[in-house]
Amino acid sequence: MSEHKSRFLIKQRALLKGYLITMAKQNKLYGLQYKEEIKKELDRYGYKPTHSEIYKSLHELMEDGTLKQIKRKKEGAKLQTVMIYLIEDKGKAELYMKQLKVELDRCYGLLGKAIADFYS
């Protein structure tokens, strides 16, 4: 997320990772549950994540050691095995969120500038 000369707006996956880390600190959810929770937050802004992006984001956060994955039996009649994601490295998680803030503030400022330039 760093050392880029010029970039437009934040990439979808970078923001998804912010939600995944934030939610993983509080709950023990599996893949599609993250998808549903994020959808609940952002649906009214016209955005709904795909399962593909959720899984890719989770996988990348595991590859760099931020999250870890454990198998769990899903509650209910089906007894299906699901993958629960938890924080593995709290320091990495917090560092990511700190860097994400810089990027989000930048994008928020850019859009605010455009809105001011166009409609004031």
Residue 37 interacting with DNA (CB under 7 A): no
Dihedral angle over CA of 98, 104, 105, 109, nearest 10 = 170
CB of 22 or CB of 69, closer to DNA: 69
Site string for DNA, 64-93 (x = CB under 7 A): -----x----x---xxxxxx----------
The angle that helices 90-119 and 12-24 make with each other, rounded to 10 degrees, is 130
Of 7 and 74, CB closest to a copy of itself: 7
User: In Å, how far are 13, 62, 90 from 22, measured between CA atoms?
Assistant: 14, 15, 11
Instruction: Compute the least distance from the CB of residue 7 to DNA, in Å.
Output: 7
Do 86 and 23 form a contact (C-beta atoms < 8 A)? no
Strand 67-73 and strand 29-30: the pairing is unpaired
Instruction: Name the residue nearer to a copy of itself (CB basis): 84 or 104.
Output: 104
Closer by beta carbon to a copy of itself, 48 or else 72: 48
With CB under 7 A as the contact rule, the residue among 55, 60, 88, 89 that binds DNA is 55
The footprint of DNA (CB under 7 A) covers 6, 8, 11-13, 30-33, 49-53, 55-56, 58-59, 69, 74, 78-83
